[in-house]
Amino acid sequence: MKMKNEQSYYIDEGKAKSGVSRWQAALGNSINGLKFGFKSEAAIREEVIVLVASIPAAIYLVESVWVRLAMILSVLFVLIIEVLNSAIEATLDRVSKEHNLLTKAAKDLGSLAVLLAMIFAVSIWVVAVLMA
- Given a cut of 80, whether residue 34 has pLDDT beyond it is yes
In whole angstroms, what is the distance from residue 75 CA to residue 52 CA? 9
pLDDT digits (tens, 9 = 90+) for 98-132: 989 999 999 999 999 999 999 999 999 999 999 98
pLDDT value at position 18?
80
Residues annotated as catalytic (active site), given as ranges? 82
Is 94 a residue whose pLDDT tops 60?
yes
Confidence of residue 14 (pLDDT cuts 50, 70, 90): low
Instruction: Read off the pLDDT of residues 36-67 as tens digits, 9 standing for 90 and up.
Output: 999 999 999 999 999 999 999 999 999 999 99
CATH code for 42-131?
Answer: 1.10.287.3610
Question: What are the extents of the domains in the chain?
Answer: 42-131
* Residue 63 CA: distances (Å) to CA of 50, 67, 109, 132: 20, 8, 36, 7
